[in-house]
Structure 1
Amino acid sequence: MEKFSHSSDTDIGDYLKLFACTAVMLQTVLAFALKLTVSETSQIFIGIIYNLIKFTAPAFIFGILYTTTRKTILTGRYQPYLKQQWHSLFVPTIWWTMIYLLITPDLQQVHHYDDLKTFLWQFVNGNAAPHLWYNTMMLQFILLMPLFWLIGRWCATSTKRGLLVASITAIVYLAWIIFYDQEVFHGPQMVHWYLLDRFFLSFLAYGIFGTLAWQYRQAVNRFFRTWWPIGCLIFLGSFYWINNELFQFGFPIMLTNAPYYKPTMVLYDLTVISLIAALAITQLDHRSPVNRVVHLLAVFAYKAFLSNAFWTELLWLAGGKQLVLHHLWLGIATLYLGTWLLSFASAFAIHFVWQKLSVTIPNFAGN
């Protein structure tokens, strides 16, 4: 019997989304700081911190699929679901992508647009800003939600089916990661196939595991409650492993040498997800007041994530660069705090203004 009721709005997915959103903003700030000439010692610490928070995309996907499965698996209908996601996810993505391309074009990745064709290509491929590759990947999961409903419903009738799906997923995903590691990451197709990092298959396991985690929540939550100390040991071992791999590339430290698509990083990410889930379960078990705060912030996490590179860029140009140059860690902390506050504040403000307009405009037109 579960100690907490899932009739509450807050769930494990909310904790994962909030942790992921909060951490990914620091990734952006660290990448900005590393643009400057910093000592090798500082580069090492930046690399270690970057690896520490290199769980964001998997955690977000796991959390989104967990929460979406909880809310829609029994009554989900694709057209109403897609309409809702269009307004809550696709429209903000379109607007912020336009802002990045027109107002902060220097943030583009790989290539810069020079005509309408390349503008549109940058718009859809996730290269409009350093973090928008994730949107290109995540929105594929939204479009493919019927597949996860199908998997969840099929597994719900039998534990053996769930174990079968989890096993096949693990084998296929490991094969995919090994393929990517050998062929794309510093492999022969590094330049030509780089867009595979935003192909949904590169994060499919986290989506399926998120779906199964809800469907078998009693057993899964019991496992998280019981085995979290072992998870801490695996965390320490895998964290050492991924840092060792990063530093083998030497100096200067390149954050691109710490991708999600390595067997070691997959182990690390799954371990971090399990530990965040264990923390969430504990908070939910004790009906902690913080649950409501987590849920509120998680609702706005995606919109805050969309804007974070924009605010970091503005803060960087408004004096953040000089602060980081003269006081590295104070500058990083200030940029990070400012980015987090502005990202969530803008998400809340835009939502509030839009709610007001959506009521005022129809009334005005009616009059």
Structure 2
Amino acid sequence: MDRKIKSPSTPDMGDYLKVFACAAVMLQIILGQALQTHPTVNIQIGIGICYNFIKFTAPAFITGILYTTMRVTHDTNLSYRGYLQQMWHASFIPTIAWTLVYLLIMPNVQQVEHYHTIGDFAWQFINGNAAPHLWYNSMMLQFIILMPLFWWLANWCGHNQQRGRLVLLLTSVVQLVWLIFYDTQVFHGPHAKDWYLLDRLFVSFLLYAVVGTLAWQYRQVAHRWLQKHGLITVFALGSFVWINYELFAFKFPVQLTNAPYYKPSMTIYDLSIISLIAALGDSQLTRKLPVTHLIHRLANFAYPAFLSNVFWNQLLWRTFGQGLMSRQPVLGIFSVYIGTWLLSFASAITIHQSWSWLNRHFRRRLM
């Protein structure tokens, strides 16, 4: 019989990455909405800089998920089948439920095109176009399916740092080749429209999954790297200037699609921000601060909160957000963001507690 994944009751750096990523991804969507109100050039510049500042969400999510998964599954005899059974309840069922909500209740939030037939409906369901944020989900679920690859990688590396460096080097080369290919063929390239789904293929974020795996496997080495706050900050600031220069090299109005993940500059920035967030977590975990338990609890609800955030965002946008952003962009962005964050986490907690109560209630009835 398969053992369950170890109870992840102990906070870890993966929790910090997931919480920061979840909080930031909600703001990304709101910044895009703010641009729809045709703000002034100065406001557009501010939105573009802010968008770049938080453009670490998908890489941070992947790194955090892999780090925590490696931690809670090591030294267990959990089989792949047992792992998928547990992930089915934790990830796939919430994904199915919220995707249906968007397609059936809020079909207007679909991306690229809308469904008109059953076949279109099924395609929108699985390709991540059912809502602005679900492309993240299509990509992240691939890493759940591919988890045996990372278990094997961790076992092969063991405690041999030479193997770890080799894996990191080879993955970096693959990432660079992929970025060059994407830049020349997809991003403003000849296949920008017909190959756009490549942005959610797992290989686009493979480097971050490997980093998360190796960060756990060589946690002492990672701990020493995270002490180099000054060096990491230099990389973060330098790459931040770089990605903003690239964004504003395009003509106005600002188009957030001109700030993709798939650039060397953004990759360096994302790895730097991931390191800084992990350094914060490492420091607080080392000192055993009470806030680590709050971060851990929020991390447990980060994924369902992420799934629901566009639903709550749309309700706030339609009731007051659009009008307020048109008159007071900064106040509108802040108000919709805070409301979306609170409602997303509140709904995630409420649904979890309600489902747990129903399970306990029916089990007692059946006994």
Is the shorter-chain TM-score for this pair beyond 0.5, marking a shared fold?
yes
What is the rounded CA distance, in whole Å, between the counterparts of 1:77 and 1:299 in structure 2? 23
- Structure 2 residue aligned with 1:283: 284
TM-score, normalised to structure 1's length? 0.96
Alignment partner, residue 69 of structure 2: 68
C-alpha separation between the residues in 1 aligned to 2:93 and 2:141? 11
Q: Check the 8 A contact 2:111/2:131 in 1, yes or no.
A: yes
Alpha-carbon distance in structure 2 between the residues aligned to 1:55 and 1:324: 25
Pairing 1:177-216 to 2, within 5 Å after superposition: 177-216=179-218
| Aligned position for 2:273 | 272
Partner of 2:106: 104
SS in 1 for 2:269: helix
CA shift for structure 1 position 352: 0.6
Residue in 2 that maps onto 1:163 = 165
Q: What's the CA shift string for 1:209-257, capped at 9, x where partnerless?
A: 10000000001111111x1111111111100100010011111111111
Residue 300 of structure 1: SS of its match in structure 2?
helix
Work out the CA distance in 2 between the residues paired with 1:262 and 1:56: 15
Report the alpha carbon displacement of residue 154 of structure 1 after superposing the two structures with TM: 0.5
Q: In structure 1, how many angstroms separate the alpha carbons of the residues matched to 2:123 and 2:88?
A: 20
- Native 8 Å contact 2:309 2:340 kept in 1: yes
Once the two structures are superposed, what CA deviation does each residue of 1:89-113 show, in whole Å capped at 9, x if it has no partner? 0000000000000111110000000
Give the equivalent residue in structure 2 for 1:131. 133
* Number of the residue aligned with 1:334: 335
Q: CA deviation at 1:363?
A: 3.3
Deviation sequence 1:121-165 (CA, Å, 0-9, x none) = 000000000000011000000000000000001101411111111
CA distance in 1, matches of 2:194, 2:167: 32
Matches within 5 A, 1:190-269: 190-225=192-227, 227-269=228-270
Aligned to 2:148: 146
Gaps of 5+ in 1: 1-6
Q: CA deviation at 1:78?
A: 1.0
Name the structure 2 match of 1:3: none
Segments of 4+ in structure 1 off by > 3 A?
A: none
The offset of 1:8, in angstroms, is 6.2
Please give the alpha-carbon distance, in whole angstroms, between the structure 2 residues aligned to 1:348 and 1:152.
33
- Residue type of the alignment partner of 2:120: T
Give the number of equivalent residue pairs: 360
1:286-322 Cα deviation digits (max 9, x unpaired): 1010000000000100000001111110001111111
Distance in 2 (CA, whole Å) between partners of 1:160 and 1:241 is 32
CA shift in 2, pair 1:218/1:157, >3 Å:
closer
Check whether the contact 1:15–1:294 (CA below 8 A) recurs between aligned residues.
yes
Aligned equivalents of 1:353 and 1:194: distance in 2?
39
Would the aligned equivalents of 1:238 and 1:268 in 2 still touch at CA under 8 Å?
yes
Paired residue for 1:172? 174
Identity among equivalent pairs (%)? 57
For 1:61 and 1:139, how far apart are their aligned partners in 2?
10
Structure 2 counterpart SS, 1:346:
helix
Alignment check: 8 A CA contact 2:159 2:218 kept: no
Unaligned runs of 5+ residues in structure 2 are 1-7
| Structure 2: distance between partners of 1:199 and 1:8 | 31
Q: CA deviation at 1:73?
A: 2.7
